[in-house]
Amino acid sequence: MTEPLRSEPGPPAQLSVFDAVVMMLGLVVGIGIFRTPSLVASGVGSEAMFILVWLVGGLVTLIGALCYAELAAAHPHAGGEYHFLRRALGRPVATMFGWARCTVIQTGSIALVAFLLGDYVAQVIPLGPHGPAIYAALSVVVLTAINVIGTAAGKNLQAVVTFIQIGAMVAIIGFGFFGSAPPVAVAPIPVPEEAAALGVAMIFVLLTYGGWNDAASLSGELRDAPQNIAKVLTLGTALLVTLYVLANMALLSILGLDGLRASDAVAADMMRAAAGPSGEMLVTLAIVVAAISTLNATLFTGGRVFYAMGRDLKVLRWMGVWNQRGSAPGNAHIVQAVIALALIAMGSTTPDGFKAMVDYTAPVFWMFLLMIGCSLFVLRWREPHRKMPFKVPLYPLTPVLFCLTSAYMLYASVMHTGVAALVGIGVLIAGTPILFLQPTNPHPTSDPPGDPP
């Protein structure tokens, strides 16, 4: 008889608070800040409102991070959100989340970041019309290989590229605040007065802040996770909000609100005005580094979800093997890369692979984020005597606000996205047969490896 899967070795606690904060910043500070400020500017009527929506978006992100901190502190596990849903709403919901995460959310995010990386690398070394897709695929293969080698290799690469990326953003902030270039003059662009315009602006702000939730997947490998996960999420969020607000103030000081609205590449246009062609090249390199940073961090955390599913489903048991030599879920990383490469192939057939992947992931992502917010209420009610190293402040107001925000974003992502969103929903529905697969552990409320009793 095969030895029960629960006795197999799980991930060791090897990540410090510093490691996890760096990983969180790498997950979030990436592609969005180089694309969305112009879209946000188009939905607001004044410079003060432009900065305010970024502050409000940061507050919403902090609320979500506090909710996740309670869940991750009480239930630390490498599966992160998959594990929260499994304990609160049962194996079927968690299994569908695992399917969605593997085929839509995580792999779609990997593909869209890879496409952006491919777009910018192709500007430097063109390879023809399919160059961006080729670079996107190569980046997934190379970074997956690094993470298969082991956690140490993945986290060390993450630290290097995250510091380079943040250093480049600090340079942008410095040129914006202390550069001598006058504000760029452009013709005024009318802005709609409807509240819907502000709502759309908030959608792009929250998309730019997106990715912080993946830090919950690190709780299974974080040293003293019950005490430290709240520090990771709150400190990481505070640094993130500070960096984003300062960056947008710098962009605003050089380009002005109308200049932001008219720009398709705000950081490059700002640096060209403040520092000339060399500044423009600097920001192009920063975008490439940001994409590498985000892609590596997303691959790192995504493999943990595949690993958690393999622990739960007997038919996928081979995917739940932890490679002790490299201290990484090697098989899970390989499966994740194969699915991401298939999505890159699909995206290469559309006019804009990046936008197609954004549309593909958004509705499914916000639907499950809403369910995770509800899980906090369920677990508090079901396990009143559970040890709580961290409790979300102002309960129940804080998680209610988180759930309402997620519900609004779910509505907006369906109303303001294209056909690819329906494809993502279709892929989610296509995964329902996985519910009939026999679980390795038929008791969804028991404590899988990585969760303390």
At residue 355, the pLDDT reads 74
DSSP 438: P
- Residue, of 142 and 354, whose pLDDT is higher: 142
At residue 128, the pLDDT reads 77
- What is the pTM assigned to this prediction? 0.75
Backbone angles phi, psi at 328, to 5 degrees: -155, 155
* Amino acid found at 152: A
DSSP 276: -
Go through the domains of the chain in sequence order and give each one's CATH number: 19-436 (1.20.1740.10)
Query: Looking at residues 319-335, what average pLDDT do you find?
Result: 72
At residue 112, the pLDDT reads 83
Task: Work out the angle between the directed axes of helices 353-382 and 131-149 (0-180°, nearest 10).
Answer: 40
The whole-angstrom separation of Cα 30 and Cα 36 is 11
Condensed to tens digits (0 to 9), the pLDDT of residues 285-322 reads 777 877 777 787 778 877 777 787 777 677 677 776 77
Condensed to tens digits (0 to 9), the pLDDT of residues 99-156 reads 898 889 888 888 888 887 887 787 678 887 788 889 989 999 998 888 777 655 555 6
pLDDT confidence band for 194 (50 / 70 / 90): low
* Alpha carbon of residue 182 to chain centroid: 35
Condensed to tens digits (0 to 9), the pLDDT of residues 212-262 reads 776 666 666 778 776 787 788 788 888 888 889 998 998 888 888 888 888
pLDDT confidence band for 390 (50 / 70 / 90): confident
